[in-house]
Amino acid sequence: MIVTMVQLFLLPALLTGCKHENLNNYGTVDNNSPSTNTSNNGTVRFVVLGDAGVGNQVQHDVAAAIKTVCDNKDCQFALYLGDNFYETGVNSIDDVQFIDKFEAPYSELDFPFYAVLGNHDYGGGNTWARPDPQVAYTDVSEKWVMPDRYHSHSVEHVTFAGIDSNAIMWDDLWEGADAQANWVNSTFSNSTSLWKIAYGHHPYLSNGVHGIAGQYDNLPGDVINSGKDIKTFVEDNFCGKIDVYFSGHDHDLQWLEPSCGVEFIVSGAGGKTRNNGNWGAPTRFEAFDINGFVWVEILDSQMTVIFYDKQGALLYEGTVQK
């Protein structure tokens, strides 16, 4: 890939159908057919944000900035990267948090949000049943799209796969990695899309407080919470096979230098921020005290990535050419 970038600090600034089915007690798989588009041409525009489900003024400010940018530049959908409802997820599809922390903040945005699960959506731990209402809410909301705990969709010449990284991280308890590995490899290998993009909550590389998979929170690499299974999953299933992996979990904005043939982008500043974790991973851009989001345009064989703050000011712009 050929990469170019421009850094600008603080300057003013189709929904597709999904089918799914329950496979076993450990989760569900989306059987949405991969794209049959064999063309390398197309235009896909979307925003990426995570860790936003607070219901605070920051979340509303980021939403307003997204509307401004999307009104000017177009957006077809959002990738929503987990920790959708702080602190402990939702209780049912009637939980008022769906209104206060999703529908109300994004009421002015008229495109779908493809959502995945974060650790707080599991009640802050390993409670397997806690995310069920978020899946069910897909049938209630006109905007929320989580047809299963992991799911895929294709737009033009891009195939997207949203993973349940929490189930992968706790693989020793839930056998979550093997099922998703089979699914994600099938999804991408059967796709003829030029671009292949995955998104989930937990990062592979990050300079945020949680840090790098396999070393999360400075934990020994043999414990579950170190993210050892995230590390293995990404290296076995993403490296050399996909183009981009978007994640959150760390409450900041980062574009890491590519590793193993993949662009790693963190966009977890949709409702909170955190300090730099000083992990030393090389980056093209990083901001640890600025709330915001990422806007992406994939035009034929070129991807443009722009980071914006909560006022809609452009922070950084870069392009990747396949």
Displacement of CA 80 from its chain's centroid (Å): 5
φ and ψ of 119, to 5 deg: -65, -35
**279 Cβ contact list (under 8 Å, min separation 6):** 206, 207, 208, 211, 212, 215
- The chain-wide mean pLDDT, for the chain, equals 88
d(CA 71, CA 140): 26
Residue type present at position 3: V
pLDDT value for 124: 63
d(CA 209, CA 227): 13
User: What is the layout of strands, in order, in the sheet containing 302-309?
Assistant: 2-11, 314-321, 302-309, 292-299, 43-49, 77-80, 113-115, 144-145
Number of residues that make up the chain: 322
Provide the domain limits for residue 315.
2-321
Work out whether strand 253-256 and strand 195-199 pair parallel, antiparallel, or are unpaired.
Answer: unpaired
Q: What share of the chain is helix, strand, coil (3-state, %, to 5)?
A: 25, 30, 50
Residue 237: left if φ>0, alpha if ψ -120 to 50, beta else—which one?
alpha
Q: Structure pTM?
A: 0.90
Tokens in use for 237?
């299933």
Q: Is 10 helix (H, G, I), strand (E, B) or coil?
A: strand
pLDDT for residue 150 is more than 90: yes
pLDDT value for 32: 40
Tokens in use for 64?
């307003």
Neighbours of 103 (CB within 10 A): 15
Strand segments (E) across the chain: 2-11, 20-24, 27-30, 43-49, 77-80, 113-115, 144-145, 151-155, 158-162, 195-199, 244-247, 253-256, 263-267, 283-287, 292-299, 302-309, 314-321
pLDDT value for 256: 98
pLDDT value for 171: 76
| Total number of domains constituting the chain | 1
Lowest mean pLDDT among 19-28, 48-57, 118-127, 207-216: 19-28
Check if the beta carbon of residue 300 is closer than 8 Å to that of residue 40.
yes
Q: Give the model confidence (pLDDT) of 159-195 as tens digits.
A: 999 999 999 998 776 768 999 999 999 999 999 999 9
Check if the beta carbon of residue 62 is closer than 8 Å to that of residue 291.
yes
pLDDT value for 14: 31
Average pLDDT over residues 58-85: 98
CATH code where residue 145 lies: 3.60.21.10
Check if the beta carbon of residue 163 is closer than 8 Å to that of residue 199.
yes
pLDDT for residue 66 is more than 90: yes
Q: Give the model confidence (pLDDT) of 9-57 as tens digits.
A: 333 233 333 322 322 222 333 434 333 344 678 999 999 999 999 999 9
Average pLDDT over residues 279-296: 97
d(CA 24, CA 26): 5
